[in-house]
Amino acid sequence: MAVVFSNFDFHEVNENMLKKYLLAPGPTPVPESVLLEMAKPILHHRTDEFSSIFDSAAERLPKLFGTEGEVLMLAGSGTAAMEAAVVNTLSPGDHVLVVNAGKFGQRWRDICNVFGMTVSTIDLEWGESVKAEQIEEFIKENPDTKAVLLQGSETSTTACHPVKEIASVTSATDDTLLIVDGITSVGVYDTRMDEWGIDVLVTGSQKAFMLPPGLAFIALSDRAWARAENASIPRYYFDLRKERKTQQKSTTAYTPALTLIIGLNKVLDMLFEEGLENVYRRHQVNGDATRAAVKALGFEMLAKDNPSNAATGFYLPSELDGGAFVKFMREKVGVTYAGGQDHLKGRILRISTLGYHDVFDTITAVSALEMGLVRFGADIELGKGVSAAQNILKDYIG
């Protein structure tokens, strides 16, 4: 019998059956096993059952930060931890240096301005990385500098800053703290807070921790904790002294992000089963493959010298409407990339290799990119980027 397809709209069926691929640098995909763990019946947060889960997570988190100290869990986004870092270690009028090299460097600047710091900045073109020598020169000229604030990985520009080298500069001072936004670097790179001399390190749940947004993490060095005793900014919810005392008793000072902490415990199971060295290598390999694909297609990289393994950013063809491209790929193809922010809006594309991401996520990202660009009229050779990525990834599978 012949099948009649009259009035059959293939495009409508395609949209209804669209499989989604989340390839933006946050929020990132959440593993199915973690989702199932968080879907279990809710617990009360003042119980031995939850305290056991909390302790399991609290005991393992420091290994990702490279510290022997506590990593505190806060209900809030990564920005909550950024604000907590400022209000617990600084006072109005303190002179601070912010590395302003992207959207989130601007966030450090804005937070410090709100709380009355005297803010100096090293302003860089988006995509550039600061040099440790620039920090050292500034501190020599401004010995009253109470803190240097920067990103480990600047998500908006997909560029990294040399945190280890900068920490060697700040740790040699008596009174200059190094405060690092590690939101897209912790869990991506082997970060050694104690060994390097980072004073405050923060991150959030929706990046390499493979969780939904809503949980923030912060760790302080001994000298940062000493500073917290004398910091004069009023604080209540973000009083880390109170939070530290309470979390040492296997719970949080206020209602925790309960379901996220339950999911975190499962995530930590997965990460330590994989092995942290393998986690970092996976990010490196997928980052290398994505960069190779972008270069093979002839696009200019956004990050000039020190690209991040969390995400790859590159300039789109000047004649292409980047905003329309991102929207088309998300709504019609099911592939979510990230566009640019501020002056880079519509000009760049960012592809994540962050968190719950492996070899064939990279292949999907690159092959969809090629097909989408051709659909938008770009003059590229189909398969060229995929081939470049495969030549790196082929030795990693199995």
Query: Whole-angstrom distance between the N-terminal and C-terminal Cα of the chain?
Result: 46
What class, spelled out in words, does domain 10-25+275-393 have in CATH? alpha beta
What is the predicted pLDDT for the residue at 277?
98
**Domain boundaries along the sequence of the chain:** 10-25+275-393, 32-272
Structure tokens at 134: 């620039």
Tell me which of 1.20.58.2050, 2.60.40.10, 3.40.50.300, 3.40.640.10 is the CATH number of domain 32-272: 3.40.640.10
* Whole-angstrom distance, CA of residue 322 vs CA of residue 378: 12
Candidates 190, 231, 160, 384; CA nearest to 293 is 384
Candidates 349, 114, 82; CA nearest to 202 is 82
* Whole-angstrom distance, CA of residue 319 vs CA of residue 341: 18
DSSP strand pairing (311-315 vs 348-352): antiparallel
What's the one-letter identity of residue 322?
Answer: G
Candidates 91, 99, 234, 202; CA nearest to 157 is 99
Cβ atoms of residues 98 and 179 within 8 Å: no
* Whole-angstrom distance, CA of residue 224 vs CA of residue 82: 14
* Whole-angstrom distance, CA of residue 383 vs CA of residue 374: 11
Q: Is the preceding peptide bond at 317 cis, omega within 30 degrees of 0?
A: no
* Whole-angstrom distance, CA of residue 385 vs CA of residue 223: 48
What is the predicted pLDDT for the residue at 12?
52
What is the predicted pLDDT for the residue at 379?
94
Residues 6+ apart with CB under 8 A from 146: 90, 94, 95, 96, 175, 176, 177
**Any idea what DSSP says for residue 333?**
I
pTM of the model: 0.95
Structure tokens at 330: 């998300």
Radius of gyration of the chain (CA): 22
Cβ-based neighbour number of residue 151 at 10 Å: 29
Torsional class of 348: left (φ above 0), alpha (ψ -120 to 50), beta (otherwise): beta
Candidates 167, 165, 209, 168; CA nearest to 185 is 209
Candidates 78, 77, 135; CA nearest to 101 is 135
Per-10-residue mean pLDDT, the chain, length 398: 39 71 97 98 95 98 98 98 98 98 98 98 98 98 98 98 98 97 98 98 98 98 97 97 98 96 98 98 98 98 96 96 97 97 96 98 98 96 98 91
Helix (H, G, I), strand (E, B) or coil at 159: strand
What is the predicted pLDDT for the residue at 17?
80
For the four alpha carbons of 345, 358, 183 and 298, in that order, the dihedral sign comes to: negative
